[in-house]
Amino acid sequence: MQVFLQTIVGGLNLGAVYALVALGFALVYRTMGLVNFAHADVLMIGAYIAATFTVSQHLPFAVAVLASIVITGVIGLFIERFLRPLEGRDFDLMLIGTIGFGIVLESVATLIWGATGEAVPSPVQTRPLVVFGASVPTYDLVVMGVAVVAMLALSLFLERTRRGVAMQAVAMDYDAAKAVGINVGRSNAIAFAIGAGLAALAGALVGPELYVSPTMGGSIGIDGFAAAILGGFGSIPGAVVGALAVGLLNSFSADYFQGYADLATFVLFAVIVMIKPTGLFGEKTVLRA
Amino acid sequence: MSTAVAAPPHTRQLRVEDLSVRYGGVRAVESVSFSIAPGEALGIIGANGAGKTSTLRALMGLVPRAAGTVRYGERNLTKASAHTMVRHGIGYVPEGRHVFSGLSVEKNLLLGGYSRGWRKANQEALDGVYARFPVLAEMAGRPAGALSGGQQQMLAIGRALMPKPSLVLLDEPSMGLSPKLVEEILDILTGLRAAGLSLLLVEQNAELAFGATGRCLVMENGRVVMEGDVARLRADDRVQRSYLGL
Amino acid sequence: MNPTLNPLLRRYRAPAGYLLLAVLAYLLPYQLGSYDMHVLDTAFVFGILAIGLGIVMGIAGQINLAQITLMGVGAYTTAVLTTQENYGFWVAAILAVLASGLVGLIIGVPALRVQSHYLGIVTLGLSLAFTDWVTTSTLAGSGSGISGIPVPPLGGIDLSDDYLYYYLELVVFVLSLAFGLFVVRTRLGRRMRAMRDDPLAAGSGGARIPVLRMTAFLLAGLYGGVAGVLYAGLIRFVAPETFSTADMFLLLAMVVIGGRQSLWGCVIGALALSVVQDELTDLSTYAQLGYGIVVVITAVVAPTGLAGLPGRIRPLIRRQREQPALAPFQPYPATAAARETATGRELLRLDAVTMRFKGLTALREVSLSVGAGEIRGIVGPNGSGKTTLFNVISGLYQASQGTVSFADRHVHNLRPYRLSDLGLSRTFQNLRLFRELTVREHVMVGLDRTRPGWAWRYAIWPVGVWRAERRLGAQADELLDRYGLAGFAKATPYALPYGIQRRVELARAMAGEPRLLLLDEPAAGLNATEKAQLVEIVRSIRDHGTTVIIIEHDMGLVMSLCGKVTVLAAGQVIAEGAPADVAANPSVIEAYLGRAAAPRQTDAAEPAPSKTKEPTV
């Protein structure tokens, strides 16, 4: 039972991080029609910036994270400029163009910070909590808490504010949005910046848990992407549900299948996607060939 | 009834000269010119494929204008991009409604007033639209996609009215609606005219156009082939021939 | 330049080029040091792998981020079988290639259900799963890999020597490339390319999409296997690191920069990048940055890659020769088939067909009967359900209620390709042409009526494929002449004027000599001359034995062409009959104009038109 709870806690923790990544993916895809494979590398940049502020500049962790979000968001505005020609295009090209861009980000990170990476000390030094016999590292709770707050903030933004609702409208009907006066280009850029900010938040939070290196985006990105797809690509609530599912799946696989965790996870994932190609909440139709 | 658009009567004239639209190799619209006096309602009718919708979309800037000039009042809007049109007082009701189906009726309406602000700036206009279309007030919290065709059409019109436009472009508002609903649309359009709005109505349903406007253009194959008062056109059987290829 | 010399040069240009390449390839090892030789050997392995990726992604349009895994399967199988089961190298090699082919098929199964980013993530995931397995499983060496793979035995030749291994690879490479090009340039490749460019149009033309997809993945697997075997024989050590996602992206970059739709491009990309990557190992980060930038620029600016550059530069530097012109249509000869259809037997029948989508009823109890030899018009206002009707008849939609019969067979739940087999063909309202196929290839796709079982001939009897290809080409040329398109044979459709695009779609639809042809707004966007030509062509098509149903808005066209017209409004049939009668029908007039017929201007002497007549439906 204890082990079971432990696994769940681990899964939720992973799920929280994946949720932030998946939300960024989903937001960008919904509003811009861009499948951004460089998203995970944006996460990596966010992690590095936060790490630099924490380790080198000795800023408090929270401040470092905020700074990272803001800076990465601004970088996101520039990235969107570069990737704009790929929006709504042939998927192969989007795939390759954004992957290429990801490689550029990795190289830049390597040039600035070196290839060896760094360890970030956990900002929370208290003893782990014990819940029903399961040991819950306090930092895990911090991560989950922040993720929940971020999700709520994003929801509020999208549902209650003028720009947020406009962003949703652009995703639903491009021309009608223009007709009511929404500057769709600017809306998309802001959406991308928010997506980048979310990735940076995920990266900054996960820094103390993992090793910050230029290639850290790799597996988190794939899992985050899988989470967004599982939830139904483009669906915001779906991204969260999918992320929790992938997080739990990973956690249980690691426990039961140990070395074969990835294998189990992805075979299961492949089967689920094939049974319900539109994902849990998605609307995309399957062509009747 | 006219509180929603009780702006003082405006004096802006729309002048369109030599408008052309080309998609790839196809000339969808060829050299169309017309003008709309302040408060006037002009109809564009014609069979399917005549280029009516393309004309409207080009006017709005949703498709590139291959040639021509567009002037509204003193402003030259020839190079204006689509999202700036609303700020010049031009509202647009697209063909097929195109409401934001995942958002509530109220949010759809508030988005209509996007250029002016959000809730505070648009409250008065919102109340006015609800007064004009009580059914929208009833469905205010429902997602727009759940509304029937006729209700969606009212929502699309209401959305266009939110920023208190002086000119409204409507693209085939009767499409897919039953004759009874078409009657309601006619009433709405008459009401808008009475409130002093200029209207440009594109319609396949000639009868609706004749009822709602004072003057019509007949388009065929991208060109204007006839023009005149509604009374004259109604009696002219060339209109019928144009539609039915006789 | 002497004009008589030119054709001679042109004829022998290709063979001379190949000969030159062959000589260079033979002499190359003499120029290279042993380290460079090793690099080149590795490059060739990636070249073969790139061909596999080019086929599945560039030709068939299927995202396959597990291509490197397929090489891994080939290499690991060879390794395991030779080191642990003590199989001979070549036996192990054959089994390894088969294993890779099988894994390719397994990876391809998701492609039957999902495409684009879904397929991308699934294949990527499966690739990670494989990496996971080889890192963990003891059979695969638990992460430290398998070493000690024996040198492939080949008579007395010592293949542990990189120079000699090069020649083995060269032979395998040339055969692989030749086979790949053979597939691409014949019917299998052409069908795959059609599927890539427009699966809907390809399916409606008879292509079995699922079979084509699986075949593409099978080929990807086989090529991956061959590459893996060669790799195992060269390095004689396999480890998980070689088959990582980073390498997959490198392979992807190779294929994209080289030009994924051209196998030569893939190969050149692979060779070039392998060499460049090696040259820059010291500056590896800058190199990585560099090719990341190149990949982005290629994707944005030059999506067809290096191989596509000549095609894009040529029109810029070469002066436009006189534009080819559309030649006149040559009417079909009257045939016996035409006499058969003149009997007017019922060919198509719809019984109370209702089509419901979420919340919308597009067709309501529509019944229709079309006899052989008719030209039937379907008209009606915007949104009345005409195209939906065609989609139901052609199998793209399955009717919610009611039945459809074609030539006395119930067909209402058959897929489009089955209907195509039965002799149904159609064009589309928004013109669905294959972007990257030439006009001649469009017609060849239409002419190609072979069933999927035919693909086995590629392996067993390639000569048959080649001969059939030439026959198909000759038939295509005839058809192009008939439709006046001979001058445009080598052009891709979207560069052509709109009227000619329409003609191409029509030629493609008629290529298979269908019994029933559905034309969806064929006159949209045509000028008066083109419309007159269309009338002539459709009449000739009918006289040749094909029954035609045509959706049109141009009532003048409908009047002159159709013997009988069916009017749809709001998803229901409201009138049917001769065009002139239907046009005078008050319900029809009301449906179109929203009101009854305009009162006619009458002289006092003429009697007023009677308003008591019942409207005919």
Is pLDDT at C189 greater than 70 in this prediction?
A: yes
Per the document, the length of chain A is 289
Taking alpha carbons only, the member of B72, B145, B150, B138 closest to residue B108 is B145
CB atoms near residue C91 (< 10 Å)? 13
Please report the pLDDT score of residue A103 as a whole number.
Answer: 85
Tell me how far apart the alpha carbons of residues A190 and C245 are, in angstroms, rounded to a whole number: 31
Strand pairing class (A211-212; A118-119): antiparallel
Question: Which residues in B have their CB inside 8 Å of a CB on C?
Answer: 24-26, 28, 47-49, 172, 174-176, 182, 204-208, 234-237, 239-240, 243-246
Give a yes or no: residue A11 inside a domain: no
- Of the ranges A129-133, C434-438, C450-454, the best mean pLDDT one: C434-438
Tell me how far apart the alpha carbons of residues A249 and C488 are, in angstroms, rounded to a whole number: 56
Tell me how far apart the alpha carbons of residues A119 and B27 are, in angstroms, rounded to a whole number: 64
Tell me how far apart the alpha carbons of residues C457 and C473 are, in angstroms, rounded to a whole number: 18
User: Which stretches of A90-184 are assigned E, i.e. beta strand?
Assistant: 118-119, 129-131, 134-136
CATH of the domain at B175: 3.40.50.300
Tell me how far apart the alpha carbons of residues A75 and A199 are, in angstroms, rounded to a whole number: 12
Chain A residues with beta carbon closer than 8 angstroms to that of C200: 287
What burial letters (b/e) apply to C517-537, b meaning 16+ CB within 10 Å?
Answer: bbbbbbbbbbeeebbebbbeb
User: Which stretches of C393-462 are assigned E, i.e. beta strand?
Assistant: 401-406, 409-410, 424-426
Give a yes or no: residue B147 inside a domain: no
Whether C214 and C108 have beta carbons less than 8 Å apart is answered as yes
Helices (H), B14-74: 52-60
Chain B residues with beta carbon closer than 8 angstroms to that of C555: 47, 243-246
Between C49 and C242, residue with greater pLDDT: C49
Please report the pLDDT score of residue B8 as a whole number.
Answer: 59
Give a yes or no: residue A226 inside a domain: no
Please report the pLDDT score of residue C100 as a whole number.
Answer: 95
Q: Does B85 sit within 8 Å of A169, measured CB to CB?
A: no
Domain residues for the domain of A158 are 19-216
Task: Tell which of A35, A107, A230 to mutate to test the C interface (max C CBs under 10 Å).
Answer: A107
Measured in angstroms, the CA of B122 and the nearest CA of chain C are apart by 32
Tell me how far apart the alpha carbons of residues C55 and C196 are, in angstroms, rounded to a whole number: 11
Nearest CA in chain B to A164: B111
Between C102 and A114, residue with greater pLDDT: C102
Question: What does pTM read for this prediction?
Answer: 0.85
Q: Give B169-228 pLDDT, tens digit per residue.
A: 999 998 878 778 888 899 999 999 999 999 999 998 888 899 999 999 999 888 998 999
**Residue C598 banded pLDDT, cuts 50, 70, 90:** very low
Give a yes or no: residue A170 inside a domain: yes
Residues contacting residue B179 through CB under 8 Å, at least 6 positions apart? none
Q: Does A179 sit within 8 Å of B62, measured CB to CB?
A: yes
Tell me how far apart the alpha carbons of residues C371 and A247 are, in angstroms, rounded to a whole number: 61
Q: Give C320-371 pLDDT, tens digit per residue.
A: 566 677 888 888 876 655 555 556 688 999 999 999 987 778 899 999 999 9
Nearest CA in chain B to C557: B245
Tell me how far apart the alpha carbons of residues A149 and B38 are, in angstroms, rounded to a whole number: 52
Of A92, A94, A229, the CB nearest to C121: A229
Please report the pLDDT score of residue A28 as a whole number.
Answer: 83
Whether C113 and C214 have beta carbons less than 8 Å apart is answered as no
Residues contacting residue C172 through CB under 8 Å, at least 6 positions apart? C48, C226, C230
Strand partners, C425: C517
Which of A184-193, C157-166, C218-227, C607-616 has the least mean pLDDT? C607-616
Task: Tell which of A99, A111, A256 to mutate to test the C interface (max C CBs under 10 Å).
Answer: A99
Q: Does B204 sit within 8 Å of C381, measured CB to CB?
A: yes
Q: What share of chain C is helix, strand, coil (3-state, %, to 5)?
A: 60, 10, 30
Element containing residue C548 per DSSP (H, E):
strand C547-551
Tell me how far apart the alpha carbons of residues C610 and C152 are, in angstroms, rounded to a whole number: 98
Chain A residues with beta carbon closer than 8 angstroms to that of B92: 179
Question: What is the Cα gyration radius of chain B?
Answer: 17
Strand partners, B15: B35, B71
Q: Give C90-122 pLDDT, tens digit per residue.
A: 999 999 999 999 999 998 988 888 887 778 888
Give a yes or no: residue A63 inside a domain: yes
Whether C248 and C68 have beta carbons less than 8 Å apart is answered as yes
Give a yes or no: residue A208 inside a domain: yes
CB atoms near residue A28 (< 10 Å)? 29
Give a yes or no: residue A82 inside a domain: yes
Q: The tokens 């053979």 sit on which residue? A: C182
Element containing residue C291 per DSSP (H, E):
helix C284-301
Question: What is the number of structural domains in chain A?
Answer: 1
- Look at residue C319 and give its three-state secondary structure: coil
Residues contacting residue A188 through CB under 8 Å, at least 6 positions apart? A31, A32, A80, A84, A87, A170
Is pLDDT at B243 greater than 90 in this prediction?
A: no
Which of B163-167, C271-275, C347-351, C488-492 has the least mean pLDDT? C271-275
Give a yes or no: residue A258 inside a domain: no
- Provide, rounded to the nearest whole percent, the portion of chain C with pLDDT above 90: 41
Element containing residue B238 per DSSP (H, E):
helix B237-244
Between C453 and B83, residue with greater pLDDT: B83
Measured in angstroms, the CA of C369 and the nearest CA of chain A are apart by 27
Q: How large is the average pLDDT for residues A74-103? A: 80
Q: How large is the average pLDDT for residues B75-97? A: 91
Please report the pLDDT score of residue C120 as a whole number.
Answer: 84
Of B206, B244, B245, the CB nearest to C595: B206
Measured in angstroms, the CA of C337 and the nearest CA of chain B are apart by 33
Strand partners, C549: C376, C518
Q: Give B143-157 pLDDT, tens digit per residue.
A: 998 888 889 999 999
Strand partners, B14: B36, B72
Give a yes or no: residue A234 inside a domain: no
Question: What is the number of structural domains in chain B?
Answer: 1
Please report the pLDDT score of residue B199 as a whole number.
Answer: 95
Tell me how far apart the alpha carbons of residues B198 and B193 are, in angstroms, rounded to a whole number: 7
Give a yes or no: residue B92 inside a domain: yes
Whether C218 and C105 have beta carbons less than 8 Å apart is answered as yes
Q: Give C438-447 pLDDT, tens digit per residue.
A: 999 999 999 9
Give phi and psi for B69, each to the nearest 5: -125, 150
Domain residues for the domain of B199 are 12-100+166-243
Chain B residues with beta carbon closer than 8 angstroms to that of C594: 174, 182, 205-208
